């Protein structure tokens, strides 16, 4: 028995020792980091705390209105007060007491049953405002403290009772909490809804703040960290300046969407590469396509983010509200209204897009009972083209070409490079220039959505009655919009990783269908990336969507292509080049 007690004491001592080491390590980390770039951000919050109090209040009101989230996780904030030793040594005790008093006031007001009343909204804003101002002043006087406020465990451990209360609030933000993404899957939509309900003046001010924050993160965090990843990589002479120049083009309107996407990204995924990818998503168009070309030249961590950058790209415009208004304009056109308006169940608030496309965005709308009887589906996907896209693509092509040529000139004139490396880097620039030109031509040919329906009908007929891959039905198409069936499932790479036993069958069905189209029918679908291939988690049904670009090879071309593949397998270099 004595031995057991001795062992228990030893375990407790070891645990305390580990915690002390961890705490000291955290303190050293905080003291050694440079966060001067945080000062102007803290100054902006301190200068207008009422705005950010309204933003936070609106966000929590939207969360509280969701019965699933409310029942599960929104609880009265904890009270209590523990040691403030670390913050007390870094900042004044008076400031800490101000924060503690403010958070006590928030705790008293933060009660779910009061969220429905306007008076409660006003009260919560009033008690949040001084807390935000105090915290901003605290961080502005010592920017290193931002480490504590963005690390919930540090916040709770080092800030005592006030830290526990603040952590209860911040746990709803996926970028700060690992659990938030799983607990609150709709958090991005609720964040957008809260911003939609703000005044135009508040949104404009928040956009300016987001622009300041995102540019600081790009230049002080993302690009330097990517530089560290590429430290021993000669290709950084092309990759880094290309990314830097692209990030300079992010407009303030897109910065707000980038900011929302960033704070709604799970903490474990929010890497410098991910932040850069999010920014490129908001630029859209040829920037997305060029990012995919650039990804072939990058290390795996950065390449993975750039390859998937289109998955969460923006809607028709960077502003979700503006994009939704444009969708409503399409729906109110005479030829569309007569076909669809009486069958659609339109939401009362603007909704974000369902998926992004190179030339536009896709929105999901529900059909009412009459709509289900007429069309045989419960939801409909509406793909709409961005206005003025021809001119926009020309501008984007010119920007990207200018960036690539500027880097190419710099590489050519760099005397520190050996000839083999100079040739390689010039080849990278040539590949980027070719990619920009090819994607510009491809996107230009995709501007007539009617071709997509023709391609889908052609592919469906070619696959026959026993097709192993489904093709969506198209209900109405126009040059700039189309109405189509929503296929079950999600991007294939999101679900196939958990389907180890079924992988071979999934791959066999997909590849045999594609090879049948290519070699038996001569139909070439030229954009079979994972975002265009859906897999149903429930039934394992496969679907191919967005069948643009799609073209047909004659028999001679197919035979030549087969010949080239055989020569490649045989290692016949001259024969491959000849073919």
DSSP codes of every residue in 226-290: HHHHTTT-TTHHHHHHHHHHHHTT--HHHHHHHHHHHHTS-GGG--HHHHHHHHHHHH-THHHHH
Contacts of 211 (CB under 8 A, 6+ apart): 252, 255, 256
Name 324's Cβ contacts closer than 8 Å, sequence gap at least 6. Answer: 315, 350, 351, 363
Q: Which residue has the higher pLDDT, 26 or 94?
A: 94
Number of helices and strands (H, E) in the chain? 29, 12
- Considering only residues 553 and 250, tell me which one the structure prediction assigns the higher pLDDT: 553
Higher pLDDT, 499 or 360: 360
HSE-CB for 172 with a 13 A CA cutoff: 24
Per-residue pLDDT for 485 more than 80? yes
pLDDT interval class at 314 (50, 70, 90): low
Which H or E run contains 515?
helix 503-515
pLDDT bucket at 123, cuts 50 / 70 / 90: low
Residues constituting the chain: 579
- For the chain, the first-to-last Cα distance in angstroms comes to 83
Token pair for 577: 């080049």
For residues 303-315, one letter each, b for 16 or more C-beta atoms within 10 angstroms of the residue's C-beta and e for the rest, the string is: bebbbbbbbbbbb
pLDDT of residue 88: 32
pLDDT category at 310 given cuts 50, 70, 90 is low
Distance of CA 487 to the CA centre of its chain: 22
Of 314, 341, 342, 343, give the one whose Cα is nearest residue 328. Answer: 341
Q: How far apart are CA 158 and CA 154, in angstroms?
A: 6
Q: Given a cut of 50, is residue 263 above it in pLDDT?
A: yes
Confidence at 379, pLDDT banded by 50, 70, 90: very high
3-state secondary structure of 384: strand
Q: What is residue 503's predicted lDDT score, i.e. its pLDDT?
A: 83
- pLDDT score at 477: 93
Supply the DSSP string of 557-568, one letter for each residue. Answer: HHHHHHHHHHHH
What integer is the mean pLDDT of 141-157? 76
Say whether the peptide bond before residue 197 is cis (omega within 30 degrees of 0). no
Name the phi and psi angles at 363, rounded to 5.
-120, 145
pLDDT in tens, 424-481: 899 889 989 998 998 888 888 788 899 999 999 999 999 987 678 999 999 999 999 9
Q: Is the pTM of this model over 0.75?
A: no
Residue 378 CA: distances (Å) to CA of 129, 332, 423, 454, 535: 45, 21, 56, 24, 19
Q: pLDDT by residue (tens digit) across 37-93?
A: 888 899 999 999 989 888 887 877 776 666 555 444 444 332 222 222 233 333 344
pLDDT at 139: 83
Q: Which range has highest mean pLDDT (6-15, 169-178, 304-313, 531-540)?
A: 531-540
What pLDDT shows up at residue 444? 80
Which stretches of 347-431 are assigned E, i.e. beta strand?
355-357, 360-367, 379-385
Q: What is the pLDDT of residue 118?
A: 40
Specify the higher pLDDT residue, 372 or 112: 372
Res. 406 pLDDT band, cuts 50 70 90 = very high
Higher pLDDT, 170 or 483: 483
CA 201 to chain centre: 26
């Amino acid at each position: 028995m004595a031995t057991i007690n001795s062992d228990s004491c030893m375990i407790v001592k070891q645990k305390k020792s580990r915690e002390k080491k961890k705490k000291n390590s955290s303190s050293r980390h905080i003291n050694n980091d440079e966060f001067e770039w945080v000062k102007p951000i803290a100054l902006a919050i301190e200068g207008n705390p009422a705005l950010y109090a309204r933003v936070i209040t609106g966000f929590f009101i939207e969360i509280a209105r969701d019965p699933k989230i409310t029942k599960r996780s929104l609880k009265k904030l904890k009270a209590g007060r523990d040691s403030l030793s670390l913050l007390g040594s870094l900042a004044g005790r008076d400031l800490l007491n101000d924060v503690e008093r403010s958070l006590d006031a928030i705790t008293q007001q933060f009660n779910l049953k009061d969220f429905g009343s306007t008076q409660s909204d006003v009260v919560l804003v009033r008690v949040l405002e001084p807390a935000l101002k105090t915290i901003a002043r605290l961080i502005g006087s010592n920017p290193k403290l931002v480490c504590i406020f963005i690390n919930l465990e540090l916040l709770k451990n080092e800030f005592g009772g006030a830290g526990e209360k603040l952590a209860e609030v911040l746990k709803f933000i996926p970028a700060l909490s690992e659990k938030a993404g799983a607990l609150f899957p709709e958090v991005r939509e609720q964040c957008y809804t809260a911003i939609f309900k703000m005044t135009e003046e508040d949104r404009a001010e928040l956009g300016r703040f987001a622009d300041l924050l995102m540019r600081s993160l790009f230049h002080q965090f993302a690009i330097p960290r990517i530089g560290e990843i590429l430290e021993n990589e000669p290709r950084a002479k092309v990759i880094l300046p290309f990314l830097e120049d692209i990030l300079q083009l992010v407009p303030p309107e897109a910065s707000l969407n980038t900011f929302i996407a960033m704070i709604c990204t799970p903490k474990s995924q929010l890497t410098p590469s991910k932040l850069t990818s999010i920014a490129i998503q908001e630029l859209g168009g040829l920037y997305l396509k060029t990012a995919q070309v650039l990804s072939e030249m990058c290390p795996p961590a950065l390449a993975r983010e750039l390859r998937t950058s289109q998955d969460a790209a923006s809607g028709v415009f960077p502003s979700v509200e503006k994009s939704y208004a444009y969708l409503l304009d399409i729906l109110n056109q005479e030829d569309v209204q007569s076909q669809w308006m009486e069958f659609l169940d339109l939401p009362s608030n603007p909704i974000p897009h369902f998926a992004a496309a190179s030339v536009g965005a896709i929105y999901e709308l529900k059909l009412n009972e009459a709509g289900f009887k007429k069309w045989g589906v419960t939801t409909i996907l509406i793909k709409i083209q961005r206005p003025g896209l021809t001119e926009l693509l020309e501008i984007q092509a010119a920007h990207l070409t200018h960036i690539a040529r500027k880097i190419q000139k710099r590489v050519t004139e760099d005397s520190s490079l050996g000839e083999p490396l100079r040739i390689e880097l010039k080849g990278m620039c040539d590949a980027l220039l070719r990619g920009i030109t090819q994607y510009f031509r491809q996107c230009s040919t995709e501007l007539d959505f009617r071709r997509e329906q023709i391609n889908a009908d052609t592919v469906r007929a070619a696959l026959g009655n026993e097709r192993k891959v489904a093709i969506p039905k198209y209900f109405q198409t126009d040059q700039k919009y189309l109405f189509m069936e929503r296929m079950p499932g999600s991007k294939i790479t999101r679900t196939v990783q958990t389907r180890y036993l079924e992988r071979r069958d999934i791959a066999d069905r997909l590849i045999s269908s594609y090879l049948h189209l290519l070699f038996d029918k001569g139909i070439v679908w030229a954009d079979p990336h994972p975002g265009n291939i859906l897999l149903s988690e429930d039934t394992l049904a496969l679907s191919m969507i967005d069948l643009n670009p799609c073209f047909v090879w004659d028999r001679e071309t197919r035979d030549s292509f087969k010949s080239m593949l055989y020569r490649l397998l045989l290692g016949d270099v001259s024969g491959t080049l000849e073919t």
